[in-house]
Amino acid sequence: MKIICIGRNYVDHIKELNNAIPTSPVFFLKPDTSLLIRNRPFFYPAFSDNIHYEVELVLKICKVGRNIQKKFASAYFDEIGIGLDMTARDLQDTAKDKGLPWTVAKGFDQSAPVSKFLPKTDFNDLKNINFHLDLNGTKVQQGNSGLMMYDFDDIILNISKFMTLRTGDYIFTGTPAGVGPVKVGDKLEAWIEEEKLLSCLIK
């Protein structure tokens, strides 16, 4: 399976990192070895001094497809969860400065903690899903799927122009404002609406 991540999908987050608003979705990959499931702890890696959390809604792909038309896109995912796009911001800043890929900054081991998934049918309106992240019990990020520049269907359409989507692939759909650093001993908890789905201790 592969994990595809959308960058720069919420205007408030684009502004906080002083990035330009993209004219098409920015995306990148994480390898399957980045997955961290069942609320296992995240071990702070030795190669970075500035690991950031980014909370994101995550889609699970349920059908193989390429060049998917927008009107059919919603048939290609059947579950929604929440994840953390853990980012070595120091390595990413260096890569950005040099015009190099973000691979190590975004794709290191454990950089993709993901919750259990909920059936899409649990949601009344996919354009109005609230989610948030608590750091040590204080809310640090909150988002709503209606604020995404590229909605779920746009994301699937755009990715599938370039890459075949396969059953079991995950799509991280971008983070709202409020990203920030973690330190050893922190606890991250991610919620969709009123349900806490993900808990992650930094060790």
Query: Which residues of the chain form contacts with Mg ion (CB under 5 A)?
Result: 54, 85, 175
Alpha-carbon gap, residue 192 to 29, rounded angstroms: 23
Nearer to Mg ion by Cβ, of 54 and 153: the residue is 54
Give the alpha-carbon dihedral of 10, 200, 43, 170, to 10 degrees.
Answer: -50
* Shortest separation between residue 5's beta carbon and Mg ion, angstroms: 6
| Residue of 92, 113, 102 whose CA lies nearest to 50 | 92
* Shortest separation between residue 75's beta carbon and Mg ion, angstroms: 25
Nearer to Mg ion by Cβ, of 54 and 189: the residue is 54
Nearer to Mg ion by Cβ, of 141 and 160: the residue is 141
* Shortest separation between residue 166's beta carbon and Mg ion, angstroms: 21
| Residue of 147, 39, 126, 139 whose CA lies nearest to 84 | 39
Give the strand pairing for 130-135 and 118-119. Answer: unpaired
* Shortest separation between residue 124's beta carbon and Mg ion, angstroms: 26
Q: Under a CB-based contact definition with an 8 Å cutoff, are residues 141 and 55 in contact?
A: yes
Nearer to Mg ion by Cβ, of 65 and 102: the residue is 102
